[in-house]
Amino acid sequence: MIKNNDTISPYQITMIVIMTIVGVGIFSLPAQLADTAGSDSWFVILIGGLLNLMPLNIILMINNRFPNKTLPEYAQDIVGKVPGKIITAIYAIYFIIFVAYEVRIINEVIKSSLLLRTPSEVIMLTMILTATYAVRGGVECVARVMEMFFPLLFIPLFLIMIPGIADLDLTNIMPVFYNLSSKILVSLPNMALSFAGYEVLMFYVGFMENPKKAYKSANIGIIFVTVLYMVIIILCLTMFGVTMLKDSIWPLLGYVRDIDLPDLFLERLDAVMLAIWLFTVYTTIVSLYFVVTYSISKILGTKEQKQFVLPLVPIIYYMALLPQNIVYLKEMENFLFQYLGIILIFLIPIVLLVIAWIRKVRGEVS
């Protein structure tokens, strides 16, 4: 059961959804979708957002069936103590790999764009150790971090993107809806990556006083992310065209660099964009990191999760070092989101819900 002072508001649930999903993918997504969906990338991501509403609401249905409980608790109610702990352990492994992946991507972008001579060890350890401060504060601290960073990040983000609209070429999104069905199928792995993160709701909704309010909050979060992705893809697509876009490594960063504002006191908008993105990824890491420590505490039966925060630092750091280069990092990404992620986001929640229905198992409001 959740302690009374560990509560999350519906608004904070929306913030958690948005700030967990919008991480490293925001930089590379336009190029990845341009490679598979071409000029219809903007529409394909809309379909992706709508498709993700189904597993999202399945997760919320389970949480509503077991109010004031999180996955480590209701999984044991549904399938038994040992299988429930095994499921929790699998999610913990998934999220710790997720954190390591985010940390490594941060290092690759910062090293290639901003801090060229800074050792990778310094960049990655700084990000991990900074995240530990928020995670040790518990779930309320994590929720407040999401709530605080949201306006500080997205308002400047939209303000930075607006000046480039004058240079856009709308003919670059033509032809529209050409061979759309095959484009959607080919783009499914990229869409899975771009929306990964809302599965943390299996751990956060249990901290709400009224879990039914999570339906509206979480769906608003997914819709916001979908619209944000659509805007970014349209801007990058109309700025570069399909051919240039799919060959770009970090297209959103390139879009900001191409904005010409001679009268602006900031000469390098890309540095501002990098700062915004860095804090966005930071919130993703904080959200996932908390879930890992919380899962471990439930598996081991301890009251507090903060005692596991610092011991995980070397593990995350080592895992972030494992990929030798971008190619190996891509393989890590494929394993995480195209295989393990699909099982944990789509399959396991459905199986748990069906078993709960068959066994007529449900929780009670504390």
Task: Please give the domain boundaries of the chain with CATH numbers for all domains.
Answer: 10-352 (1.20.1740.10)
> Contact, 214 vs 201, CB < 8 A?
yes
Closest of 1, 4, 9 to residue 208, by C-alpha:
9
Q: Report the C-alpha gap between 254 and 27 in whole angstroms.
A: 9
pLDDT of 26 above 90: no
Closest of 285, 351, 233, 235 to residue 107, by C-alpha:
285
- Find the helix or strand (DSSP H, E) in which 243 lies: helix 214-246
3-state SS assignment for residue 145: helix
Could you give the C-alpha distances from 161 to 228, 256, 324, in angstroms and in order? Answer: 11, 7, 34
- Sorting pLDDT into bands at 50, 70 and 90, what band is 12? very high
**What number is the average pLDDT over the span 328-349?**
80
Q: What is the pLDDT of residue 300?
A: 92
pLDDT of 321 above 70: yes
Amino acid at 197: G
Geometric angle at alpha carbon 120, from 115 and 124, rounded to 5°: 100
pLDDT tens for 284-317 read 999 999 999 999 999 999 888 889 999 999 999 9
Give the predicted TM-score (pTM) of the model.
0.89
Residue 5's φ and ψ, nearest 5 degrees, are: -85, -5
Which comes out higher in pLDDT, residue 179 or 343? 343
Q: What is the pLDDT of residue 333?
A: 74
Q: What is the pLDDT of residue 120?
A: 85
Q: Report the C-alpha gap between 346 and 331 in whole angstroms.
A: 21
pLDDT of 142 above 90: yes
CA atoms within 13 A on the CB side of 143: 18
Structure tokens given for 99: 């954190």
Which region, left, alpha or beta, applies to residue 175 given φ > 0 means left and ψ of -120 to 50 means alpha? beta
Amino acid at 244: M
**What number is the average pLDDT over the span 259-265?**
58
E runs forming strands in the chain: none
Q: Report the C-alpha gap between 156 and 247 in whole angstroms.
A: 27
Q: Report the C-alpha gap between 317 and 104 in whole angstroms.
A: 9
Q: What is the pLDDT of residue 342?
A: 82
Polymer length in residues for the chain: 366
Long-range contacts of the stretch 241-244 (C-beta < 8 A, 24+): 241/169, 241/172, 242/34, 242/38, 242/39, 242/172
208 - beta bridge partners?
Answer: 8
Q: What is the pLDDT of residue 24?
A: 67
**What number is the average pLDDT over the span 183-193?**
69
pLDDT tens for 63-122 read 999 988 999 999 999 999 999 999 999 999 999 999 998 898 888 888 877 777 888 888
Structure tokens given for 240: 């570069």
pLDDT of 61 above 90: yes
Which comes out higher in pLDDT, residue 22 or 170? 22
Geometric angle at alpha carbon 309, from 305 and 310, rounded to 5°: 145
pLDDT of 22 above 80: yes
- Find the helix or strand (DSSP H, E) in which 258 lies: none
- Please, what's the b/e burial string for 198-213 (b: 16 or more CB within 10 A of its CB; e: otherwise)? bbbbbbbbbbbeebee
Q: What is the pLDDT of residue 54?
A: 92
Q: What is the pLDDT of residue 177?
A: 67
Closest of 86, 23, 98, 51 to residue 278, by C-alpha:
23
Q: What is the pLDDT of residue 261?
A: 58
> Contact, 307 vs 114, CB < 8 A?
no
- Sorting pLDDT into bands at 50, 70 and 90, what band is 194? confident
Q: Report the C-alpha gap between 53 and 48 in whole angstroms.
A: 9
Determine the distance from the C-alpha atom of residue 238 to the mean position of all C-alpha atoms in its chain, rounded to a whole number: 26
Could you give the C-alpha distances from 19 to 142, 206, 225, 229, 249, in angstroms and in order? Answer: 11, 18, 9, 13, 23
Q: What is the pLDDT of residue 358?
A: 93
pLDDT of 39 above 70: yes
Closest of 192, 217, 176, 180 to residue 51, by C-alpha:
192
Mean pLDDT of the chain: 84
> What percent of the chain shows pLDDT beyond 90?
40
- Sorting pLDDT into bands at 50, 70 and 90, what band is 350? very high
> What percent of the chain shows pLDDT beyond 70?
87
